[in-house]
Amino acid sequence: MIQAFGLTSHSHKDLPPAVDDVSFEARAGHVTALLGATGAGKTTALRLMLELQQGRGLTYFRGRPLHRLAHPSREVGVLLGEVPGHPARTVRGHLRMLSAAVGVPARRADEVLEVVGLVSLRDERLGTLSRGMDRRLGLACALLSDPHTLVLDDPADGLSTRESHWLHGMLRAHATQGGTVLFTTSEPKEAARAADHVITLEQGRLVADQVAAEFARTRLRPRVAVRTPHAVRLAALLAKEARTAQRSVEVVREGGNRLSVYGSTCADVGETAFRHGILVHQLADEMGDMGPGAGPFPGETAEAARDAREGGTEPESSELLGHRAVGLAGTAPRGGRAQDKPASQAGSHRPGDRVVPADRRARGDQAAHGSPDTGSGPAEGRGDTPPSPATVSRAPAPLPPLPPPISARSAPSPLRPLRYELRRATGIGTGFLTAAAVLVTSALTAVLLARVGHTPQARLLAAWPRELPLPPAALGAGLLGALAFGDEFRHPALAADRGSVPRRLGLLTAKLVVAAVTALALAFLAVGCDAEVLYLVYGRELAEVPADWLVLSASWFGLVVGCAWAGVLAAGVFRSTAAGLAAVVAVPVVVVPLVQKALEGASLRAAAGLPARLREVFLLQWPFGGERYLVGAVRVIAQPVGGALTLSLTALLCAYLLTTLRSRAR
């Protein structure tokens, strides 16, 4: 159950707030629609409920605000806009990555893929998905952790009629099993057909809070749908009779041979057509929307365009019949479907008599007929003639299945962020391509340095010319580290329920571990490739291992890992891949000269004899000569680049911790 109290957004300058003192409830076991035109404040209300936007008010999810929930993503499934995933990641890889983040088994990804009908597209890239498939994937992400509550922002936007019916069938199935569903829409007919309760917003204020049957009776306009090859002539006759009888009748020419008549009945329109010998192909009462300018029902725009092409004409402007003004040109909805009312009842009811059935669970037109795949869907109602009474009265199709519930929640594990980071890093080819480019560049640089000469053996194996601030391997490791957080902020897959990438120490530790392992592998492969290429081109002399290889190896690995960590921390602090890479380059370009200038300044004392004093402090003999490694580490840090890198890492880590504490305090 959702309880919203006094939702009010902050106003900008002298403008009124987008949402002003909105309070409502969405009960468990019901589908609730938040209805309003564009700019009415629907999305702002959802963002205030989910604590994604600052404002006033309070929202309870099953008795607790969202920030007091231990695992918000497990309690509330959210769909706001498009799926925030990397376009190069596969559908299955994206869901498996999110499964690791929320702590559910990886097989859960396959279960929700089967439910939403994306099994055949599980290896497709996110950037290639259509609008409908993206909405299906968004619903799969929302259902991944088996949440009790679903909060969806215009989930049927851009979907066809068939896909909209499938989507609403899924929402109905979730509510039938005891869940809470809240979705926004700008289409009154969609709200009346798919919801049990309709909450209407206008200019940020609550204007109606009604059950669906009452909403359909009081706020929707009935109309008569007519299809005739003599649409222009019939419209003119209806206009003439309306003026003669002094009645307020409005006719909308929707293109081709379609007419929508507001303020009349099937009997009156049929009698007019019969008296003047006009052939009528379709004549049915329909539940319209709030008026001719409210826009078509989701998925009907394409059908209207197709019918206009078949009729050879474009939609024309509505005509004034009676005493009222002309409506918007070509924007009136074509109306509901003929199966909304049996053919035997067409013309027998006066306007306003028909309401949406109160028992929403008995609605068969909201369930998915057949498999949830794109090609399946209701075949009836797509033609031009109303179905027979036998078709309308048939038993409703079963609701689409939901994924099986998660019986046991997995306890928090320190390996969960590590699994997530591994799947994130290996799910796209950016890291592998970057590593390959670094190895090729390093090998070519080593060959050119050997050809020119005057390069020490250690720098030759690392492909580090004196003119460059860092070798290719260190720059590549820094770039991979910056991508670890840069991709998070560019494609915030973890921010669907909170609005921003969470700053958790577990996630940071996992990124540092994966970045360190990647940097070590890259450093080892770079030296190995350089030595092998030098041996093949120039012989064994240039591929020999230096005598002090232990200290050099420690310095080399420390440099590459330090650059990777600097990229991770800087990108996490500044939320940008470019900022992370800039911080890596700034270490030798900016920090090292500053450190050298500070050390070369006039001083009374020097740190001479530091290794000897360290041996005196650590009197115990370490096993396997451990004191040598300690001395080597100190020598690495004592170098200009090592010291500057250590200072930079310390400053970035402190900045990250400070921003983490600040975000938690907010």
Residue 631's pLDDT band, with cuts at 50, 70 and 90, is: low
Per-residue pLDDT at 549: 81
Q: 206 and 198 in contact (C-beta within 8 Å)? A: no
Alpha carbons 105 and 92: distance in angstroms, whole number: 13
Residue 532's pLDDT band, with cuts at 50, 70 and 90, is: very high
- Residue 306 pLDDT more than 80? no
Alpha carbons 575 and 569: distance in angstroms, whole number: 10
Per-state percent for the chain, helix, strand, coil, to nearest 5: 50, 10, 35
Token pair for residue 637?
A: 């840090």
Q: Comparing 2-16, 173-187, 307-321, which segment has the lowest mean pLDDT?
A: 307-321
Handedness of CA 652, 657, 661, 666 (dihedral sign): positive
Per-residue pLDDT at 373: 42
Read off the pLDDT of residues 219-270 as tens digits, 9 standing for 90 and up.
Answer: 777 788 899 999 999 999 998 898 888 888 888 887 778 898 888 889 999 9
Alpha carbons 269 and 291: distance in angstroms, whole number: 19
β-strand 282-287 against 249-255: which pairing, if any? unpaired
- Residue 439 pLDDT more than 70? yes
Neighbours of 613 (CB within 10 A): 11
**Exposed (0-12), middle (13-18) or buried (19+): which is 552, by Cβ within 10 Å?**
buried
User: Nearest Cα to 34, choosing from 171, 138, 162, 151?
Assistant: 151
The per-residue DSSP string of 289-329 comes to: -SSTTS-PPTTHHHHHHHHHHHHTSPPPPPEEESSS----T
Token pair for residue 649?
A: 């890492």
Read off the pLDDT of residues 278-288 as tens digits, 9 standing for 90 and up.
Answer: 999 989 887 65
**Exposed (0-12), middle (13-18) or buried (19+): which is 629, by Cβ within 10 Å?**
middle
**Exposed (0-12), middle (13-18) or buried (19+): which is 375, by Cβ within 10 Å?**
exposed
- Residue 658 pLDDT more than 80? yes
Q: 564 and 478 in contact (C-beta within 8 Å)? A: yes
Handedness of CA 575, 576, 580, 585 (dihedral sign): negative
User: Nearest Cα to 329, choosing from 405, 399, 253?
Assistant: 253
Please indicate whether residue 31 or residue 616 has the higher confidence score (pLDDT). Answer: 31
Please indicate whether residue 365 or residue 653 has the higher confidence score (pLDDT). Answer: 653
Token pair for residue 143?
A: 């259902």
Q: 112 and 354 in contact (C-beta within 8 Å)? A: no
- Residue 172 pLDDT more than 50? yes
pTM: 0.70
Token pair for residue 122?
A: 């599980």
For the segment 185-190, the average pLDDT, to the nearest whole number, is 90
Read off the pLDDT of residues 564-599 as tens digits, 9 standing for 90 and up.
Answer: 999 999 999 998 899 999 999 988 888 878 777 776
Report H helices in 495-625: 505-538, 549-574, 577-586, 592-599, 610-617
Alpha carbons 465 and 445: distance in angstroms, whole number: 8
Alpha carbons 63 and 322: distance in angstroms, whole number: 54
Q: 642 and 559 in contact (C-beta within 8 Å)? A: yes
Percent of the chain residues topping a pLDDT of 90: 36
In SS3 terms, 91-153 reads as HHHHHHHHHHHHCCCCHHHHHHHHHHCCHHHCCCEHHHCCHHHHHHHHHHHHHCCCCCEEEEC
User: Nearest Cα to 297, choosing from 284, 306, 309, 288?
Assistant: 288
Computed over every residue of the chain, the mean pLDDT equals 77
For the segment 29-42, the average pLDDT, to the nearest whole number, is 93
Per-residue pLDDT at 507: 87
Neighbours of 262 (CB within 10 A): 22
- Residue 383 pLDDT more than 80? no
Neighbours of 504 (CB within 10 A): 13
Alpha carbons 445 and 461: distance in angstroms, whole number: 10
Alpha carbons 643 and 598: distance in angstroms, whole number: 12
- Residue 175 pLDDT more than 90? yes
Neighbours of 636 (CB within 10 A): 22
Query: E strands, 149-189, where?
Result: 149-152, 180-185
End-to-end CA distance of the chain: 26
* Residue 591: HSE in the Cβ half-sphere, 13 Å Cα cutoff: 21
Q: 115 and 401 in contact (C-beta within 8 Å)? A: yes
